[in-house]
Copies of this chain bind each other. A is one copy, B any other.
Amino acid sequence: MDNGASHGGEAAGTRPRSVAELVASLPGSAAALGRLLTFVEQGGERAHEVGRALLGRGGNAYTLGITGAPGAGKSTLTTRVVGALRAGGHRVAVLAIDPSSPFSGGALLGDRVRMVDHSLDDGVFIRSMATRGSLGGLAAAAPEAVRVLDAAGFDHVLLETVGVGQIELEVAAVADTTLVVVNPGWGDHVQAAKAGLLEIADVFAVNKADRGGGRETRRMLRDMLRLRRTETGGWEPPIVETSATEGSGIDELLAEVDAHRQWLAAQGELERRRGERLWSEVERLFLLHVADRSRALAPFHGSEELRKQVLAGETEPWAAAELLAERILPAAAPAD
Interface residues of A (CB under 8 A from B): 44-45, 47-48, 51-52, 54-56, 59, 70, 99-108, 111, 134-135, 143, 163-166, 168-169, 189-196, 275, 278-279, 281-294, 296-297, 299-300, 307, 310-311, 313-322, 324-325, 328-329, 331-336
Nearest CB in chain B: distance from A71 CB, A: 9
Of all chain B residues, the one with the shortest Cβ separation from A169 is B102
Q: Is the interface of A mostly helix, strand, loop or mixed?
A: helix
Q: How far is the CA of A106 from the CA of B143 in the complex (A)?
A: 33
Of all chain B residues, the one with the shortest Cβ separation from A58 is B313
Does the CB pair A336–B294 fall under 8 Å?
no
Does the CB pair B317–A166 fall under 8 Å?
no
Q: Which of A103, A169, A315 has the most chain B CB atoms inside 10 A of its CB?
A: A103
Does the CB pair A318–B135 fall under 8 Å?
no
Q: How far is the CA of A294 from the CA of B91 in the complex (A)?
A: 42
Residue in contact with A191 in the complex, picked from B48, B107, B282, CB distance below 8 Å: B107
Residue in contact with A297 in the complex, picked from B44, B319, B329, CB distance below 8 Å: B329
In the complex where A45-B336, A134-B134, A286-B325 touch, is A279 in contact with B307 (Cβ < 8 A)?
yes
Kindly list 13 other residue pairs between chains A and B, CB separation below 8 angstroms, not including A294-B329, A328-B332.
A54-B316, A99-B165, A99-B166, A101-B168, A104-B190, A105-B192, A282-B321, A285-B317, A286-B299, A286-B324, A290-B328, A292-B336, A293-B334
A192 CB contacts on chain B under 8 angstroms: 101, 103-107
A275 CB contacts on chain B under 8 angstroms: 311
A279 CB contacts on chain B under 8 angstroms: 307, 310-311
Q: How far is the CA of A318 from the CA of B147 in the complex (A)?
A: 13
Does the CB pair A193–B291 fall under 8 Å?
no
Does the CB pair A285–B318 fall under 8 Å?
yes
Nearest CB in chain B: distance from A65 CB, A: 16
Does the CB pair B48–A313 fall under 8 Å?
no
Nearest CB in chain B: distance from A112 CB, A: 12
Q: How far is the CA of A106 from the CA of B192 in the complex (A)?
A: 8
A44 CB contacts on chain B under 8 angstroms: 336
Q: Which of A59, A169, A290, A325 has the most chain B CB atoms inside 10 A of its CB?
A: A290
In the complex where A103-B195, A190-B108 touch, is A290 in contact with B54 (Cβ < 8 A)?
no
Q: How far is the CA of A225 from the CA of B193 in the complex (A)?
A: 37
Q: How far is the CA of A319 from the CA of B282 in the complex (A)?
A: 9
Q: Which of A54, A281, A282, A285 has the most chain B CB atoms inside 10 A of its CB?
A: A282
A134 CB contacts on chain B under 8 angstroms: 134-135, 166
Of all chain B residues, the one with the shortest Cβ separation from A287 is B291
In the complex where A164-B165, A289-B325, A317-B285 touch, is A196 in contact with B102 (Cβ < 8 A)?
yes
Of all chain B residues, the one with the shortest Cβ separation from A324 is B286
Nearest CB in chain B: distance from A138 CB, A: 10
Does the CB pair A317–B51 fall under 8 Å?
yes
In the complex where A299-B286, A324-B286 touch, is A101 in contact with B293 (Cβ < 8 A)?
no
